[in-house]
A and B are shown apart, each in its own frame.
Chain A
Amino acid sequence: MAWLASPPPTANTDASIAPDASAVPDASGALATPAPRTARHSGMHPASGRPMIEVRNLRKEYVMGAEHVIALDRISLDIARGQICCIYGESGSGKSTLLNQLAGMERPTRGGVRIGGIVVSRLDERELAEFRQKHIGFVFQSYNLLPGLNAVENVAMPLMFRGVPREEREARARAMLRRVGLGKRLNHYPSQMSGGQQQRVGIARAFVTRPQVVFADEPTGNLDSKTKVDIMDMIRDFARENGQTIVLVTHDEHMAAYADRIVTLLDGRIVHDTEQDE
């Protein structure tokens, strides 16, 4: 429980801790052992049977002026290794907020997130950066390529942050771009590519480091329906190939259909959690 205990529980959520924790029996044993403190000193534990992502009793409040807005409350969730999990909800349901907590982009008000055995909510700024370098990939709705870099440089960027030499990382980036079908546009700049092409560069960038978890935030939000299908196929195929875990955030039911599991959020709480076969 050590990793959950950072903020003192209040009366409001006190009651919910015990049932939530005990509801995940396979994780509770592991939780008793001291959690690794940093991403630096510990790798993931690929062989262990524990879930890839563990969320416990997560709560996030925002202070907006005089008001407290509770964006997430009592979120507990386990996502298995290799699972494609869709977080589904209308806008304002808190799904983007949840993604941010999972990826360590924001600190939760209470509760904890553990990915591959590492307590994300406890890492400091530097450790988080390293954690993202090693274990996390991102696909964004608006592609978010750097306009000053060409396709190869954009894809190679996460490797650059890891200190991979230029030759090596650009070779890997080129290979990745060929796999997403952009072998002829290696030196194009984002402004010279269509939305679908840009998003393929984004996918190449997310997978080039072979991360354990890829977060995709409305990856098809800006695309036409045919391209949407291509992009989703691509993401799914990559994930299946390497047994990577995908957390897909969307409000598009068609996209949700690609997932193994759909977690539906409404007003900051999980209201449905269904597994589905393809």
Chain B
Amino acid sequence: MRFSDLVHLCRQNLFRRKSRTILTVLGVVVGCCSIVTMVSLGSGIDEQNKQMLASMGDLTIITVTGANNTGGMGMADGSGTATARIDDKAVKDFRSLQYVAGATGHVTYLDAILTAGPANRYVDQNGVIEAIDMTQFDAMDYQLDSGRKPNRQGDVLAGQYTAYDFIDSLRPESDNFRMRPSYLADSCTPEQRAEGCEDKSDAQDPFFNILTTKITVGAAQTDDSGNVASSSTPTASNGQTAEGSGSGTQIQVSGLLKEDNGKGQATSSGLLMDIATLKDLVAKIHPDAAAGTLAYDSALVRVQDIDHVADVESQIRTMGFTTSSSRDMLDSLKEQTRSIQLILGGIGAVALLVAAIGIANTMVMSVTERVREIGIMKALGCTVHDIRAMFLVEAGAIGVIGGVIGCLVSALISLAINLIRYGGVSAEHLQWAILGNGTVDEAARISVIPWWLYVFAIAFATLISLISGFGPANKAVRVPALDAIKSNQ
């Protein structure tokens, strides 16, 4: 028998019992829908997690913060001693560990005031200066937003949003700052706007271009800086003070870093430079302070890939250091996500199982009421193989049809869920709901259907149908031709 004839016969049989076929297919549609929708919610959680993690920065960075002398980290059995210190030798040791891509000592210098612009009118009272070993810049995978990479002695980089930290000391206090676009609301209602709400449409550039404007680094007056700087005292005089004192020194930022919270605050707001450069700078603005005080406060270690973070981290701990990384959080996040996905998938699977029982029932009924037909076919020379194939094709067809319709319905359900989450139908929302929105981290989809899920759902529905049809098909094969033909004489 030809396959096309099998398909033709199967179509006729399914059409002959229209209502039963429709109900069985409906069962598969519901089963398929529930499994696709449930898994899509699970994938949605994945997408939300991914966007959340992306905002947390590089996950392969381990921060080594000091000596592990308490043993509280569960590594007390190691040779951890109170003498473990983060120095050049320790950093070198870290760098020689397996899977480590790069390591650098890290210094944070907080005693500086940054000023810029005509008459130093733009002031950043709490300027953060961080220093690393710039030879590790690429190994640590620092990313640039704009400008050029540090390749000369004395190059200084600024954080992506450093320029927003400067206030204009000549403006009134209520309007002397510029907000980072990411701090602004997506949109404000007119009522909120009346109360001072600002949204993305209000975003303004910082007061000056940090790549083209020289910045003056001055020493903070530790006694009264907090008061002086934030008070309405004209900062021009402050700037004059700085210039007058001769402790200020001018620098030119050569590049803008991309924000990465795993690699220090300076990538976001502050200045980043080589340790030697910082030493020179401190010597100029704080001649009285000993340069030797610039000890490493921590070390940053970058692991080649995320799978080895735990491994490297435990090695560093056995060396006697305290560490932190995003691994713990990542692990628990993953575990939590997985259990939610399992529960969701389980609910979907139960629905598909019910559908499978429905198919099996339909096929058993179909065999029972067609016993006579099967007998006739056998008598007329239909092979056992063809009879089995006939029933399997029927069951498979129910699965394929149900699976395809189920996928279409699931796509609509998923679209509806996402549109509800975005708060309405618009061209932009439709685009987000279908294609995802990788850039706006607050706009992750709730329901995400990857293409393989459609393939899987149809294949799974078909497989389940074939399995359910297998028993009845074998029952049909065993129908004795004779009894069947006699059965209604």
Using a CB–CB cutoff of 8 Å, the interface residues on chain A facing chain B are 100, 103, 105-106, 125-126, 129-134, 136, 138, 140-142, 144, 146-149, 157-158, 160-163, 165-166, 205
Are A141 and B489 also in contact (CB < 8 A) when A100-B482, A163-B2 are?
Answer: yes
Q: Is the CB of A157 within 8 A of B482?
A: no
Offer 5 A-B interface pairs, CB within 8 angstroms, sorted by A: A126-B383, A130-B381, A134-B381, A144-B485, A146-B377
B12 with A142: CB separation less than 8 A: no
Q: How far is the CA of A133 from the CA of B383 in the complex (A)?
A: 9
> Would A157 and B16 count as touching, CB distance under 8 A?
no
Residue of A nearest to B488 (CB): A142
- Shortest A64–chain B CB gap in Å is 14
Q: Which residue of A lies closest to B376 (CB)?
A: A144
**Contact A106–B377 (Cβ < 8 Å):** no
Does B306 touch A at the CB level, under 8 Å? no
Residues of chain B in range 444-489 having any CB-CB distance to chain A below 8 Å: 480-482, 485, 488-489
Which of A132, A141, A165 is in CB contact (< 8 Å) with B381?
Answer: A132
Pair A129/B376 contact, Cβ less than 8 Å: no
Interchain CA distance A105-B482 in the complex, whole Å: 7
State which size class the interface on B falls in: 20 to 34
| Complex Cα spacing A247 to B482, Å | 17
Which residue on chain A has the smallest CB distance to residue B373? Answer: A146
| Interface contact B485-A161, CB-CB below 8 Å | no
- Between A103, A129, A142, A205, the greatest number of chain B beta carbons within 10 A of the residue's beta carbon is seen for A129
Are the CB atoms of B4 and A166 closer together than 8 Å? Answer: yes
Q: Within 8 Å CB of B372, what residues of A? A: 144
**Contact between B2 and A165, CB atoms less than 8 A apart:** yes
Neighbouring A residues of B384 by C-beta, 8 Å:
125-126, 129
In the complex, which residues of chain A have a beta carbon less than 8 angstroms from the beta carbon of B13?
148
In whole angstroms, what is the CA distance A136 to B480 when docked?
18
**B12 near A149: Cβ-Cβ < 8 Å:** yes
Cβ–Cβ contact B4 & A161, under 8 A:
no
Q: Are B488 and A161 in contact (CB under 8 A)?
A: no
Whether A138 contacts B16 by the Cβ 8 Å rule is: no
Q: How far, in whole Å, are A103 and B481 apart by their CA atoms in the complex?
A: 11
Q: Which residues of A contact B385 (CB under 8 A)?
A: 126
Across-interface contacts of B481 in A (CB, < 8 A): 105
CB of B121 within 8 Å of the partner chain: no
B5 within 8 A of A: yes
Tell me if B382 is interfacial: C-beta within 8 Å of chain A.
yes
The residue from B380, B382, B482 contacting A106, defined by CB atoms under 8 A apart = B482
CB neighbours of A146 from chain B (8 A)? 373, 376-377
Question: In the complex, A243→B427 CA distance in Å?
Answer: 78
Contacting residues, chain B, for A138 (C-beta < 8 A): 379-380
A191 to B379 alpha-carbon distance, docked (Å)? 22
How near does chain A come to B377, taking the closest CB pair, in angstroms? 7
B378 at the binding interface (Cβ < 8 Å): yes
Bound Cα distance A166, B6 (Å)? 12
A158 contact from B5, B381, B485, Cβ within 8 A: B381
* Residue B1 CB within 8 A of the other chain: yes
Query: Is B488 touching A136 in the complex (CB atoms < 8 A)?
Result: no
Bound Cα distance A206, B150 (Å): 93
A132:B377 contact, CB within 8 angstroms: no
Interchain CB contact under 8 A, A132 and B379: yes
Residues of B within 8 A of A149 (CB): 12
Closest-CB distance, A131 to chain B (whole angstroms): 8
Residues of A within 8 Å of B373, CB to CB, are 146-147
Let me know if B12 and A148 touch, CB within 8 A.
yes
A158 touches B2 (CB 8 A): no
| Residue on A nearest B482 in the bound complex, by CB | A105
Which residues of A sit under 8 angstroms from B382, Cβ to Cβ?
A: 129, 161
Nearest 9 A/B pairs, CB to CB: A133-B381, A132-B381, A129-B383, A144-B376, A161-B382, A158-B380, A148-B16, A161-B381, A160-B5
